[in-house]
């Protein structure tokens, strides 16, 4: 089958290749991928700037929506033709303290699709039933392909960091995770929402306005600290969401957060920090890391899609064929799209 493969460690070492089809092993199903989202992490891997473990060669893609194409004899409850989305933890140990308590996203032996295990930018994907969720009838494959990044935002702003009605929330970065975090903050009743970007984000900042951002700031022309001082009591943000891929964003976050406020860091950034964390102490700030999601997160996001509580139309910038993957990736990298989705052949 044709699949999009990362094969080397140089910038751009990604191409469409013929690869063997995954096998239907006991305890698994095969999913025919229909629509698969392009993640910021796929762009990082294309540029070889990822800061997580990978296997080479590996089929990229982990934001999967598709149809079950085959079911092993020992699997119950799933049938050929079921419309499904697929979580990203392709395998977990199942026995560690984190797995046993439902926090398998943090299992030390977790192997993710599109990094260690072959992902969904191909025709077929092997999956354990543990990671499957049914797509509601009124949700399209293209929408469903965005369940994963919405689940990332849901985990960060609902399950990890607090947002209370009326809070001032600052979102650093307006890639997909920034845009989806903005929606989650508003669902939780945030008061003023402020989204920060740079000139490359011009179009995406305009989309942030459509998604309900109260204030957008190009940080190269306006100091966000001045903006924050003009909001509410002027003491700063109750919550700062770091949805950038740059370590230095934390320095800015510490400046913008109010005393006793919180920062939730979602974006990865391999660069070492070159600044003092003293403001964290002086302001008694809580810093949360947030990674991935679990079963309930996915069910809740699908419920929010089905009930029309999340805006996927403004987020989805374009739908591309697998052969046009480079365009799909470039349109995200350049800031033209918040999210690109690819449709798989067959």
For Zn ion, the binding residues (CB under 5 A) are 39, 92-93, 96, 99, 107, 148
Q: What DSSP string describes 154-213?
A: HIIIIIIS---TT--EEEE--SHHHHHHHHHHHHTT-SSEEEEE-GGGHHHHHHHHHTT-
Number of residues assigned to the chain: 346
Closer to Zn ion by CB, 55 or 103: give it: 103
Helix (H) or strand (E) holding 327: helix 325-333
Closer to Zn ion by CB, 61 or 253: give it: 61
For 34, other C-beta atoms within 10 Å of its C-beta total: 21
Closer to Zn ion by CB, 87 or 167: give it: 87
Nearest to 41 by CA among 182, 176, 171: 176
CA 319 to chain centre: 17
Distance CA(262)–CA(185), nearest Å, equals 13
In sequence order, what are the residues at sequence separation of 6 or more whose Cβ sits closer than 8 angstroms to the Cβ of residue 339?
37, 38, 146, 149, 176, 179, 315, 316, 317, 332
Closer to Zn ion by CB, 54 or 286: give it: 54
Closer to Zn ion by CB, 149 or 197: give it: 149
Distance CA(3)–CA(68), nearest Å, equals 18
Compute the least distance from the CB of residue 123 to Zn ion, in Å: 20
Compute the least distance from the CB of residue 185 to Zn ion, in Å: 19
Compute the least distance from the CB of residue 308 to Zn ion, in Å: 23
Compute the least distance from the CB of residue 323 to Zn ion, in Å: 22
Closer to Zn ion by CB, 93 or 319: give it: 93
Closer to Zn ion by CB, 269 or 279: give it: 269
21: tokens are 């089809």
Compute the least distance from the CB of residue 38 to Zn ion, in Å: 9
49: tokens are 């700037």
Closer to Zn ion by CB, 107 or 237: give it: 107
Compute the least distance from the CB of residue 142 to Zn ion, in Å: 15
Compute the least distance from the CB of residue 213 to Zn ion, in Å: 22
Per-residue burial over 133-166, b if 16 or more Cβ lie within 10 Å, else e, is: bebeeebebbbbbbbbbbbbbbbbbbebbebeee
Compute the least distance from the CB of residue 177 to Zn ion, in Å: 8
For 52, other C-beta atoms within 10 Å of its C-beta total: 13
Closer to Zn ion by CB, 96 or 287: give it: 96
Compute the least distance from the CB of residue 267 to Zn ion, in Å: 12
Distance CA(218)–CA(141), nearest Å, equals 34
Burial of 214 (0-12, 13-18, 19+ CB in 10 A): middle
């Amino acid at each position: 089958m044709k699949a999009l493969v990362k094969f080397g460690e140089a910038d751009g070492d990604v191409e469409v290749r013929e690869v063997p089809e995954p096998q239907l092993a006991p305890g698994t199903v095969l999913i025919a991928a229909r629509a698969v989202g392009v993640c910021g992490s796929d762009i990082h891997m294309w540029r070889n700037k990822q800061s997580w473990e990978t296997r080479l060669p590996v089929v990229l893609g982990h934001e999967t929506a598709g149809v079950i194409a085959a079911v092993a004899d020992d699997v119950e409850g799933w049938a050929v033709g079921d419309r499904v989305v697929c979580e990203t933890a392709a395998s977990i140990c199942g026995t560690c303290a984190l797995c046993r308590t439902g926090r398998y996203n943090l299992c030390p032996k977790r192997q993710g699709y599109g990094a260690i295990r072959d992902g969904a930018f191909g025709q077929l994907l092997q999956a354990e039933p543990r990671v499957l969720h049914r797509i509601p009838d009124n949700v399209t494959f293209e929408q469903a392909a965005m369940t994963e990044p919405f689940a990332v935002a849901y985990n960060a702003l609902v399950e990890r960091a607090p947002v209370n009605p009326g809070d001032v929330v600052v979102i650093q970065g307006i890639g997909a995770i920034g845009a989806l975090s903005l929606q989650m903050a508003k669902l939780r009743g945030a008061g003023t929402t402020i989204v920060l970007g740079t000139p490359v984000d011009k179009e995406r900042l305009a989309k942030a306005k459509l998604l309900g951002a109260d204030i957008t700031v190009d940080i190269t022309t306006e100091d966000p600290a001045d903006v924050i001082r003009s909001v509410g009591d002027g003491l700063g943000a109750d919550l700062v969401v770091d949805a950038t891929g740059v370590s230095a964003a934390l320095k800015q976050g510490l400046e913008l957060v109010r005393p006793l406020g919180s920062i939730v860091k979602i974006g990865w950034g391999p660069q070492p920090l070159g600044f003092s964390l003293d403001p964290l102490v002086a302001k008694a700030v809580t810093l949360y890391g947030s990674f991935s999601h679990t079963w309930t997160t996915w069910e809740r996001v699908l419920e929010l899609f089905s009930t029309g509580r999340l805006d996927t139309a403004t987020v989805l910038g374009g739908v591309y064929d697998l052969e046009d993957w480079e365009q799909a990736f470039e349109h995200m990298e350049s800031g033209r799209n918040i999210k690109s989705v690819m449709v798989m052949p067959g």
